[in-house]
Chain A
Amino acid sequence: MSGHAPIAGRLLTKPFIVLALLFMLAVAILLARFIFGLGAVTNINDGYPWGIWIVIDVMIGTAIGCAGYAVALLVYLFNRGEYHPLIRSALMAGLFGYTLAGIAVIFDLGRYWQFYTLLLPWYVQLNSVMLEVAWCVMAYVVVLWIEFTPTFLERLGWHNIREKLSKVLFFFIALGILLPTMHQSSLGTMAVVAGHQISPLWQTQMLPALFLISALLMGYAIVPFEAILAALGLHQPLETPLLAKISAVALAVALFFLALRFGDLIWRDALGLALAGDIQALMFWVESALFIVPVLLLATRTMRTNPRLIFLAAISLLLAGSLYRINTYIIGYQPTAGATWSYFPSVTEIMVTVGIFALEVMLYLLFVKYLPVLHGAAAPPRART
């Protein structure tokens, strides 16, 4: 018995319509992008070939999508069954985060029509970090959809297939833990490859580990974030004890991340740059503060039962992980010393990113209203064996 159920309610609410408009605007801009090229709608250039479409849509998008990975890690690897109620909404966050990231990558590919060559083994260059990420992400999107399939099958009432699937699901769950471990760290490796172009405040051989841990952290943050918003906006019961527990996990991971991050900075003797007084130093401190604040907010057991603090800590962690990625790939990145390259996202570029996030929220609303995703939903649980 899963105890998950769809919630009732109209789909076309005012917020939903606003989101739909934002999404349609993004589609219109993307139309222009595919007709007139990347230069027509983005500010990326030869110096900054990666803008927010990669760093936010893909890197942050998949990091948020690590909810499914992070909770699966707890439930299946550490055998903590008590987190099971969270798994479906967490998996769903992963489903949207990854699927949309996979699609968003195509917007940013200059020669997107050659995308299919990724799948042709005779073109493969096995030393490529990008290849690893691309394959892993594609595989993980498939795995996520398979992991999420029971939800569809329950909705359709195909319990027979559901039973058969659950017999082999362990294999996909295992893959679902392996694959993100691989590519979330590789997303850090891609910055390692950029070498001295990235400020020593972020450039380190530890980037793969730091990216993996911060992705986990964002995964543990998005779960309470989503649960609390669902409670507020969709009138769902709030499972505070469970959120308190997962916040404790987030706290531990955050402490580990900070220890590794600052230990590495001190070890490499790079912390002095944090006092340089430039934009990089400023962003470093904002990022670090966003990582440290949740640690303070979740410090004691009592604090961790306070939904308000949990919510603030989750927002802070999400912003921290996001800023860490933006800092590593954009703020801390200098293409060539003395060159005049500059980058700030254009309005159209930003609106595409906004549109993708709008689509993500729309899909969330669609799924929770029509599929058995949320645990102990307000509507009576569907009876099933």
Chain B
Amino acid sequence: MATIKPQADTHLDEFVGSLGGVSRRSFLKFCAGVAATIGLPAGMAWRIAEAASSPHRLPVIWLSAQECTGCTESLLRSTHPTLEQLILDAISLDYHETLSAGAGHQAEAYKQHSLQENKGKYVLVVDGSIPLKDGGIYCKVANRPIVDHVREAAEGAAAIIAIGSCASWGGIPSSSPNPTGATRVSEVLKDRAVVNIPGCPPNPYNFLTTVLQFLAFNSLPELDSKNRPKFAYDRLIHENCERRPHFDAGRFAVTFGDEGHRQGWCLYKLGCKGPETYANCPSILFGDVGSGAWPVGCGHPCFGCSEEGIGFTKSIHQLAQLRNVTPPAAYPNISEPVGQGITPGSAALVAGITGVVLGAGAVATSRLGSSSDNASADSNDEHD
């Protein structure tokens, strides 16, 4: 167990500069957040902080196949204080087509250098699907099919992460009719374990958390049967959705802009795929701008971007298949009854009961003597 050590404290202070202007406080807060996301005790934040600010930075090779750079964009837009700076300084991003300072032969040469130098130590990240049709000619970098790059880089990689739905299960490029024969990364690296972080784009924190766990503990998070980290993908969106109570109560938006839609009711009938999509979107949201900032929160049905066979496959307004909850056969009213006040009948009944109680009390009292002697001597007709 990592405990709070004084030297760790000073160590972090020394590296303030390396944090790219992030204050020590916000940096530690971020690391504590990461620790919490992967279910570690708060004390572990120190280890993550140490690892993330270590002078021996984790080399990362990022290969882009058939992709739209959305994954990179969303990663750069993660706004936990200047995270892009932090992550570029915490890890050594040795090759990334969008972000590398060098270009052309220079960038390729540096990649080769890093692959040799850090053999067995670097993390390989792939975004985009891999086209295999016609020898993989539909996506070429440096005049070689991307599949060759991926296989080459995978050889010396300590861990392989497929980021985005394209890399995880094929994504848009693999949608029918799939002209390029696009497929997932794990399909071309069958002998290697590939961590899938699906989503279009995936939430950057699911990726960062995975990387930082590897950085700090040299291990990968627990994965499900589709090799997705369980901390992020073990629950259906439907299970934690803020609109779930409306589903349970049978309150649905039926068309965009209708009464129910404006009231924030459940989007299931607009084709929301929350009931069949596994992701933590409702819990950690998107874009760091506060509550409601995720597709369903904004009023758009989830289209299952992270789920193979759902996103880019089922039509957006097709009804989701309910996995573990079926809606009741009969729904309660849309407009809740507000209750009715007093009615003549109920008023008469209450008055009658009050009268009977008071009357019976009065009769009983009158039959009671003022002393105990004659009490039991009194008889009454009721008992006949």
Contacts and interface: CB of A to CB of B under 8 A. Distances in A.
Contact of B383 (A39, A234, A350): A234
Given A231-B376, A234-B383, A238-B376, A350 B349 contact: yes
A306 B376 contact: no
14 contacts: A14-B382, A15-B383, A45-B336, A47-B339, A228-B364, A228-B375, A232-B367, A237-B376, A305-B372, A312-B361, A343-B339, A345-B350, A347-B349, A354-B353
Interface residues of A, number: 41
B369 interface: yes
Nearest to A51: B339
B225 interface: no
Contacts of B376: 231, 235-238
Interface string B330-352: 00000011111111011101100
Contact of A344 (B346, B368, B379, B383): B346
A240 B373 CA distance: 9
Given A233-B380, A233-B382, A238-B375, A308 B369 contact: yes
A48 B370 contact: no
Given A44-B339, A342-B341, 14 more contacts: A15-B382, A229-B364, A232-B364, A233-B383, A235-B383, A238-B372, A238-B376, A307-B369, A307-B371, A307-B372, A339-B338, A342-B338, A342-B339, A346-B340
Given A342-B340, A347-B349, A308 B365 contact: yes
Nearest to A344: B342
B134 interface: no
Nearest to B378: A232
Contact of B380 (A228, A232, A306): A232
B384 interface: yes
Given A39-B337, A228-B364, A240-B372, A344 B343 contact: yes
Interface of B: 336-343, 345-347, 349-350, 353, 361, 364-365, 367-372, 375-376, 378-380, 382-384
Contacts of A128: none
A46 interface: yes
A13 interface: yes
Given A13-B384, A350-B353, A344 B375 contact: no
Interface string A290-326: 0000000000000001111001100100000000000
Contacts of A345: 346, 350
Interface of A: 9, 13-15, 39, 43-48, 228-229, 231-238, 240, 305-308, 311-312, 315, 339-347, 350-351, 354
A348 to B, nearest CB: 9
Contacts of A44: 339
Given A13-B382, A350-B350, A341 B365 contact: no
A39 B338 CA distance: 11
B339 A307 contact: no
Contact of B343 (A47, A238, A307, A347): A347
